[in-house]
Amino acid sequence: MTKKLAVVAFGGNALLRAGQCGTIDEQEANVYQTCESLLPLIERGYNLVIGHGNGPQVGNILLQVNAGEKMYGIPEMPLDVCGAYSQGFIGYIIEQQFMNVLAKHNIKKNIVTFVTQVLVDKNDPAFQNPTKPIGPYYTDEEVEKLKAKHPGDSFAKDPKGKGWRKVVASPKPLWINNKELVEELAREGNIVITVGGGGIPVFYVEPGKLQGIDAVIDKDLASSMLAVQIKADEFYILTDVPKVCLNFNTPNEIRLDTITISEAKKYLAEGHFSEGSMAPKVRAAINFVENGGKVCVITEAGQLHNPEAGTRIVND
């Protein structure tokens, strides 16, 4: 019997929970719990590919890089390199904790982590309007110095008065590096960790020459595109709520069980989902199902023991 292939996108709370400091002990415990919640998928015969976020982690790396440059003159590293740092250490945590989970349950599987480059279009309109804040806060004086040092960088003032932050584009992912190998390894029964933080954004500076670029790719959309490109049967987006809701967190809240692509687009257009939370996840779900996927499930990790868990987005 051919096993189903599922791509699972870890949400931010898979690594760091609200109110936590982000110590390695906290992150390892969170990842262990999330990996244990994936056991029902393995028991039901799924092969797995895992994507994950990196927002808090890459932000901390940028703070460390900034402090190192100020205090010790250590050369700053660009955002794409910091993204690669985060992919490496988060992949290590997931790989190790999943190995611990499998050992506890006497399951033998190999786990491999890819530091993943993702191609973007340098002419993507997102580069004309960078909106994604990253890294530390700066004073007025620091921003002026940074603008002189890096004329191409953009900065935005924090609405709460904390200072200025660098803002970068969030372009659309076009192509996932090593996707063929990811699919091959996953279908052979190995667990593959890839597209961390949406992947490292790269573009062709000239034919045949790739180069990193300051940008942040939405991790759910990148995972969705990967799921399409490796012909996954199902796509799971793990978040901190059991179901997608209309009128979220109000007395009129409605939990959604199964919705079609048309219904999902309608709810998006009506503004039911916020841009900083559920809207990107619903768009990623639509992208997967519209491009050949059977079903996308949005739910919290602890619900995966139930085959009917979460909100299921399906074709019309």
What does the alpha-carbon distance between residue 220 and residue 279 come to, in Å, rounded to a whole number?
11
pTM over 0.75: yes
Contact 44, 307 (CB under 8 A): yes
Alpha carbon of residue 259 to chain centroid: 23
Strands 234-239, 295-300: parallel, antiparallel or unpaired by DSSP? parallel
Residue 259, pLDDT score:
98
What does the alpha-carbon distance between residue 294 and residue 140 come to, in Å, rounded to a whole number?
50
Strands 245-246, 132-138: parallel, antiparallel or unpaired by DSSP? unpaired
If you write DSSP's letter for every residue of 275-297 in order, what string do you get? TTTHHHHHHHHHHHHHTT-SEEE
Domain residues of the chain, as ranges? 4-119+173-314, 130-168
- Indicate the fold that domain 4-119+173-314 takes in CATH: Carbamate kinase (3.40.1160)
Strands 311-314, 191-193: parallel, antiparallel or unpaired by DSSP? unpaired
Contact 30, 17 (CB under 8 A): yes
Would you please indicate which residues are annotated as catalytic (active-site) residues? 12-13, 132, 219, 281
Residue 1, pLDDT score:
58
How many angstroms separate the most distant Cα atoms in the chain?
Answer: 64
Q: Which residues are bridge partners to 133 per DSSP? A: 167
Q: What letter does residue 288 receive in the DSSP assignment?
A: H
Please, which residues have CB within 8 angstroms of residue 60's CB and are 6 or more apart in sequence?
Answer: 22
Return per-residue pLDDT of the chain as tens, 316 residues: 578 999 999 987 788 888 888 899 999 999 999 999 999 999 999 999 999 999 889 888 988 998 999 899 999 899 999 999 999 999 999 999 999 999 999 999 999 999 999 999 999 999 999 988 887 788 999 999 989 988 988 999 988 888 998 899 999 999 999 999 999 999 999 999 999 999 999 999 999 999 999 999 999 999 999 999 999 999 999 999 999 999 998 999 999 999 999 999 999 999 999 887 899 999 999 999 999 999 999 999 999 999 888 999 999 9
Alpha carbon of residue 218 to chain centroid: 6
Contact 253, 272 (CB under 8 A): no
Of 115, 236, 112, nearest in space to 177 by CA: 115
Residue 56, pLDDT score:
85
Residue 17, pLDDT score:
86
Of 89, 119, 78, nearest in space to 214 by CA: 78
Residue 233, pLDDT score:
97
What does the alpha-carbon distance between residue 98 and residue 45 come to, in Å, rounded to a whole number?
17
Q: What is the Cα Rg of the chain in Å?
A: 20
Residue 18, pLDDT score:
81
Please, which residues have CB within 8 angstroms of residue 15's CB and are 6 or more apart in sequence?
Answer: 27, 30, 31, 52, 53, 56, 57, 90, 93
